Chain A
Amino acid sequence: MEKSFSEKKFASLIQRTLLAGVFLSALLLFAGFAFTVSGAPAGTTLLRAGILALLLTPAARVMMLIYGYWRGGEHYFALASFVVLALLGLSILV
């Protein structure tokens, strides 16, 4: 098992992914409200993008898990994460 990619670094990678998704979503939503209130047509698009950014955050987190477990040599958990990502992909298609 490769030790250079420590548990701590892994946790911080996941944390940063989640926070980035949440803040991006909040930013888009606020911009969306501002545009909607001022009557600009971009408002709806921004609100939709904000909701999408939020909904994609867990998927991004699962991608980071695949990367982290693969790098750490824990292939079983990398595979489990991959299956979860595949299921998320499937749920968009059904």
Chain B
Amino acid sequence: MMPELNALNFSVLVSFGVFIGLLGSALGVGGGIFMVPFLVLALKIPIHQAVAASLVAIVATSSAVAAVNVERGLANIRLGITLEVTTALGSIAGALIASRLDAGAVQLLFALMLFPVSALMFHKGRKGPAPQAAPAAGPASAFDSAFFDPALAAHTPYKVKNMAPASFISFFAGSLSGLLGIGGGIVQVPVMNLLCGVPMKAAAATSNFIIGVSAAASAYVYFRKGLIPLELTAMIVTGVLIGSFLGIYALYKARSEKLQLVFSALVLLVGIKMLLAAL
């Protein structure tokens, strides 16, 4: 049963969208991690349609946030477009695999994915902000870039290394995205930060840039298969767009460590509920 377009559903779904948009733009927490379980557990939406709606919402957050990040010079576009090649390939593969799996299997995979995500968020919240990557030595590449970091009030140049393994892993980040309706930043950001040596802020902005294309690629597959629930998605997306812009301009400086801990507990809880519902 799809929720109809009425005043109650409209306000609930738009508000939920605003919440997801705020999370995505102010904290960089992927909306899909909360959106898919909310749609499946609370609204009883079939998981394939929940994943499809989530992918459309991810395109919305990514596009809104990228518009601002590109202007600030935070997103490394050369790095982004190069990793997009394998990420998009992966996300198409992921969407095709998902369309062949039954709802129970997708739900189980989703639940299993939430546990490491929760652990990762907990770790990030405990540790506080990641230390700045030391300027890497090595040959210059076309991917090297720089941005102005307002927190350090300094111009921050950096070198990019290990593009081949990063491209390889991006394929799997894309697959996860297309299969489960999450952005994939949870894989993409650590890969760019730890493997490529991109500073955290630039890695997060570049990941957001990449995610728009990979989510769109898998969303096209779902769209073709008629799996995007129109009114539901439209209501959520409206909220997500409002939330994304609010997040960019209002909460730009929000401290996220404490919230990461809260969310890691929430993700764990959601994971257990999803697991119980899948079994």
Task: Write the residues of chain A forming the contact surface with B, with a CB cutoff of 8 angstroms.
Answer: 11-12, 14-15, 18-19, 21-22, 25-26, 29-30, 32-33, 36-37, 44, 47-48, 50-51, 54-59, 61-62, 65, 74, 76-77, 80-81, 83-84, 87-88, 90-94
Contact = CB atoms under 8 A, between A and B. Distances in A.
A56 B217 CA distance: 10
Contact of A88 (B60, B217, B237): B217
Contacts of A56: 216
A51 B241 CA distance: 12
16 contacts: A11-B70, A14-B77, A15-B70, A18-B64, A22-B63, A22-B241, A25-B237, A33-B5, A50-B237, A55-B56, A61-B63, A84-B213, A87-B217, A91-B95, A93-B224, A94-B96
B71 A15 contact: yes
Contacts of B91: 91
B70 A21 contact: no
Interface stretch (B31-39, B82-90, B123-131, B260-268): B82-90
Contacts of A50: 234, 237
B219 interface: yes
A26 B241 contact: yes
Interface of B: 5, 10, 56, 59-60, 62-64, 66-68, 70-71, 73, 77-78, 81-82, 84-85, 88-89, 91-92, 95-96, 142, 212-213, 215-221, 223-224, 228, 230-231, 233-235, 237-238, 241
Given A19-B67, A84-B81, A92-B220, A58 B231 contact: no
Contacts of A48: 230
Contacts of B63: 18, 21-22, 54, 57-58, 61
Contacts of B85: 80, 83-84, 87
Contacts of A29: 234, 237-238
B150 to A, nearest CB: 17
Q: Sort A-B residue pairs by CB-CB distance and give the 7 closest, nearest first.
A: A18-B67, A58-B216, A91-B220, A58-B212, A87-B88, A91-B217, A47-B234
Nearest to A37: B5
Contacts of A21: 63
Nearest to B233: A51
A54 B56 contact: yes
A21 B66 CA distance: 12
B56 A26 contact: no
A91 B88 contact: yes
Contacts of B237: 25, 29, 50-51, 54
